[in-house]
Structure 1
Amino acid sequence: MKILIAEDEPDIAMQYELALKDRKHDVIITNDGEQCLEAFYHELEKDEPARNRKMMKRPPFDAVILDYRMPKKDGMEVAKEILAIEPKQRILFASAYVLETLVDSVKTLQQVVELIQKPFELDPFVDLIEDKGIYSELEKLNVNAKEIKDLNPTHQQVLDLLEGLKKLQKGRAL
């Protein structure tokens, strides 16, 4: 997976990077909101020829991890800008900010984003990014998760598959 992280605390950023690289993910670390947007735009520019030919159907990153409070631009500003350009981009807020305030703030985005409150253990954090819980639910529905992973779907595609299968299963149970 290709993951963009905006985290202004160097020790925390290093922990994220090590945990994700240990699981073979491609990670870009930025220290503030402006750097995060620069990295995002840089990745978009690399894919511009494919976008012009309507070939690119997925966001430039599998996940963008944002701290809520950062220098230069906070995570909410960054999320708004990214989602305005790429509405299907998966965004996760990893923040120590008061959860209720964070939930209220992300509602202004009018799009689904994920929240994980600091402090947290790194393994569950990486599992969340990798959609381990979703794949586990798919396996309970007798789906071969490995075959699905091999297709390299986006997070939204995996969620849609799970929801569709749940609806089918519910229809059969009636």
Structure 2
Amino acid sequence: MQIKSVFIVEDDPSLQSLYEKILSYYGYTILGVARNGEEAVKMFVDFQLKPDIIIMDHRLPVKDGIEASKEILIYEKKAKILFASADKTIKDAALSIGITRFIEKPFDISVLIENIKELIDVKI
């Protein structure tokens, strides 16, 4: 089985660390961590090997998660983005731009892992 890679876009250091620990425990490779939307787009464009999935926060400094996702999807229309936000009112807007899946914060770790596994198995 091929090891799957994840790109984390999250400005909260404690959540970054939690994601990294949990995902590493479940056997995923962390391709990178971006702390704002602008950095996320730049890093994504610069990756030679694109991540299997992107975990994207909504409220980010410099450029929010919706705008960063739009730009990433311009570069790679098949990018799989798991969008995480405490603001469920933006779910429809997020999905309408091509974000693959939306989960509401706070969420249980099992929900995160289940969504990642499902998305990695989906062919777009």
Which runs of structure 2 are paired with 1:24-103 in the superposition (5 Å)?
24-27=27-30, 28-43=32-47, 46-47=48-49, 60-97=50-87, 99=88, 101-103=89-91
Which structure has the higher relative contact order (CA within 8 Å, separation 6+)? 2
Q: TM-score, normalised by structure 2?
A: 0.87
What's the offset of the Cα at 1:104? 3.0
Give the ranges of 4+ consecutive aligned residues of structure 1 lying more than 6 Å apart after TM superposition: none
Q: 1:67 touches 1:95 (CA, 8 Å); kept in 2?
A: yes
Query: CA offset at residue 93 of structure 1?
Result: 0.6
More helix by percentage: 1
**Letter of the 1:35 counterpart:** E
Aligned residues: 120
Greater gyration radius: 1
Normalized per residue, the structure richer in strand is: 2
What is the TM-score normalised by the length of structure 1? Answer: 0.63
Report the aligned-residue RMSD: 1.8
Counterpart Cα distance in 2 of 1:94 and 1:104: 13
Aligned to 2:114: 127
| Equivalent residues of 2:82, 2:99 under 8 A apart | no
